[in-house]
Amino acid sequence: MELNVRNFSIIAHIDHGKSTLADRMLEFTGTISQRDMKSQVLDDMDLERERGITIKSHPIQMNYQHSDKKKYVLNLIDTPGHVDFSYEVSRSLAACEGALLLVDASQGVEAQTVSNAYLAIDNDLVIIPIINKIDLSGADIDSAKHQLMDLIGCEEDEIILTSAKSGKGLQDVFDAIISRVPHPNYQPDEPFRALIFDSMFDSFRGVIPYVRVMDGRIKAGEHIRFFASNASYEVAEVGCFKMGRIKTSSLVSGDVGYIIGGIKDISRVKVGDTITNKIKPAKEPLPGYREIKPMVFSGMYPVDSEDFTDLRSSLEKMALNDSSLVFEAETSNALGFGFRCGYLGLLHMEVIQERLEREFDLDLITTMPNVRYQAIMKNGDMIEIHNPSDMPPAGDIEVVKEPYVKAEVIVQTDFLGNVLKLCQDKRGIYKTTHYLDTEKVQIIYELPLGEIVFDFYDKLKSVSRGYASFDYEPIDFRPGDLVKLDILINGEPVDALSWIVHRDKAFYHGCEFGSKLKELIPRQLFEVIIQAAIGSKIIARTTVKALRKNVTAKCYGGDITRKRKLLEKQKKGKKRMKQVGRVEIPQEAFLAVLKMEH
């Protein structure tokens, strides 16, 4: 029965070998033949493969015959591998009974390993510690072992040593999954409850939730209801996952699978929500559901304003597969019609933007990202601010609150000083330091998220020569001395360049932003004056001198064709510029803040 089912995840830091281990397990169980194996089957978006990260999770079922001659069903639920998606990770883990905690033998424990290990512990998962890449020359198995033992409090002999690449230690992994991960709690007669841990969109069958059935059973023809969204559907098909969807007669307590119910609206299918039977509903949903809210916002505008409707339909398509992407139309004086998009974090933002440009062939202007602010007005009202240009006049505001996160950095002790200084510069509040061993230290800070969305990652990498790893979780909103920094070009404020900053840094940022823009805005046929202002006070000023020369004079020998083509080429280059007032501003200027040296 369901006693031979094992549901598990793999948690690991980027590049520690999660996808390779998954690939080997699929081969080992004959789920996929070696011949059909593209490296890293589970990451099927190009972008994911290029970046070596998993954004969307893909469950997969393997049939495995153990040495005890019994046949087992192993459901591997892959987890998104990035800090922006910690809630999704926690829901995927909640669908499992066990987790493989994979650590690179030469890298040791990283921030993501720690935060995801804690998520697994919070969800009462059995953790199987694995040290991977043991045959690499830089492997330091002893220190990885100590870090793991310190992190999850395991015994040395519980740790499995593998090389996912060569397949070494793979049998030990299977043995541990069978012997250590408990079978699901089998409760087929309870009212039906299934946890949604992901979903996908199929243009023929609608939104398809991926579920772990906790209690009861479900089959086609029955009616289901979603607790959080309160929507009801008739089940058209249920099934499990191999390399694709495999239709089955029913799903029962302990199973991992999908439910098709002709669901058109993705907003009804929320990760973490519970599905129950409409006729015989469960009394309560499964615990842990949270309404997810975007953390980071930015404006998205077509370079060519005629592409607005294309952008809308592309965003709609994108959102069908990604319920965490939200967007609403907005208008900018400078950029015209576009959208304010909300993302879970910076990586999520970059991925969405790249996919839009790549898959839908759109030329986009993206404005600087900002976090969600809360303005508490003098009359007691609270206004949520998703766009700096929506900031009410300073005189009407009692206080502005900004989101804080609990940030965890793991770094070699050599760089501890640098990292502390960086966190301090980013207005961080020091919490604790914990030495993982003599060489690695974990630092906990509370940081304003607004400081992180600019260049915290890049800075962190550079002050630690690439060694530091970083993870965060949102905690709360706190008052901050925040002001709106405006940029004026030839005297006109450009709304798309406004920015909310801490007052202490406003002058410095204003100067630097001005000089960055000066670099990026090409010389025009007139002088361009760039000013930074807070309210009506100008705090910095710089100018782009008028263009003196743009001429290719020679046409000797009568080669007019070449000259004409040259002009046409120049004209095309101009298409990537946005005309703001009389000034032509290149696309990248709107993201200039991210490239500043602050």
Partner 1 sequence: MKKFSLYIHFPFCIHKCHYCDFYSVILDPSAVDSWVAALLTEIDLYKARFGDSQIETIYIGGGSPNLIGSKKIRSIFASLNTSFRLKNVMELTVEINPGGAKPDFLNQLKDIGVNRVSVGVQSFNNSELTTLGRIHQVEEVFAIFRVLKKIGFDHLSLDLIFGIPGQRLGSWERSLQQAVEMGVDHLSLYNLIYEEETPFYELKGKKKITPADSELEWRMYELAHQWLESRGFQHYEISNWAKPGCESVHNSSYWKESYYLGLGPAAHSYDGISRWWNMRSVDAYIKHLSEGKSPVEDREELNEYDREIEFLFLSLRTHSGLSIGKFENLFLIDFKRVIQKLAQRIDSDEYWIFDGDSFKLTSAGWFVCDSITNQILEITEEVRNDHKKMF
Give the residues lining the site for partner 1 (CB under 8 A).
Answer: 525-526, 547-561, 563-564, 566-568, 570-571, 574, 582
Closer residue to partner 1 (CB): 185 or 305? 305
Residue 409 pairs with which residues in a beta bridge?
A: 443, 470
Spatial CB neighbours of 247, under 8 Å, sequence gap ≥ 6: 237, 238, 239
How far is Cα 562 from Cα 566, in angstroms, rounded to an integer? 6
Minimum CB distance to partner 1, residue 547 (Å)? 6
Tokens of 463: 């002050």
φ and ψ at residue 474, rounded to 5 degrees: -65, 145
CB of 232 to partner 1, least distance (A): 49
DSSP 305: G
| CB of 126 or CB of 488, closer to partner 1 | 488
- Of 505, 508, 394, the closest CA to residue 448 belongs to 505
Cβ proximity to partner 1, 283 vs 572, nearer residue: 572
> Is 1 or 555 the residue whose CB approaches partner 1 more closely?
555
Closest CB 548 distance from partner 1, rounded Å: 4
SS3 content of the chain, % helix, strand, coil (to 5): 30, 35, 35
CB of 568 to partner 1, least distance (A): 7
Residue 61's SS3 state is strand
Measured from the CB atom, the residue of 37 and 547 that comes closer to partner 1 is 547
Q: Which is nearer to partner 1, 185 or 570 (CB)?
A: 570
Smallest distance from partner 1 to CB 531, Å: 18
- Asked if 214 contacts 286 with a C-beta cutoff of 8 angstroms, the reply is yes
CA–CA separation, 261 and 254 (whole Å): 21
* Least Å from the CB of residue 575 to partner 1: 10
Helical (H) or strand (E) element with 30: none
Closest by alpha carbon to 239, among 201, 267, 214, 211? 211
In the complex, the smallest distance separating the C-beta of residue 445 from partner 1, rounded to whole angstroms, is: 43
At its nearest, how many Å lie between partner 1 and the CB of residue 559? 5
First to last CA, the chain: 60
* Nearest-approach distance from CB 570 to partner 1, in angstroms: 6
The residue count for the chain: 598
In the complex, what is the shortest distance from the CB of residue 550 to partner 1, in angstroms, rounded to a whole number?
Answer: 4
The residues with which 295 forms a beta bridge, in sequence order, are none
How far is it, in rounded angstroms, from Cα 344 to Cα 369?
Answer: 12
Comparison of 537 and 548: residue with beta carbon closer to partner 1: 548
Distance CA 126, CA 140 (A): 25
Q: Closer to partner 1 by CB, 293 or 562: give it.
A: 562
Nearest approach in angstroms of CB 472 to partner 1 is 43
Rounded to 5°, the CA angle 199-47-99 comes to 55
Report the distance separating Cα 23 and Cα 82, nearest Å.
20
Complex with partner 1: residue 247 or 562, whichever CB lies closer: 562
List CB contacts of 159: < 8 A, sequence separation 6 or more.
Answer: 129, 130, 131, 145, 148, 149
Greatest alpha-carbon pair distance for the chain in Å reads 91
- Please tell me the distance from the alpha carbon of residue 89 to that of residue 95, in angstroms, as a whole number: 10
In this structure, which amino acid lies at residue 266?
Answer: I
If the CB atoms of residues 208 and 494 are measured against partner 1, the closer one turns out to be 494
- Specify the residue, 365 or 528, whose C-beta has the smaller distance to partner 1: 528
104 three-class SS: strand
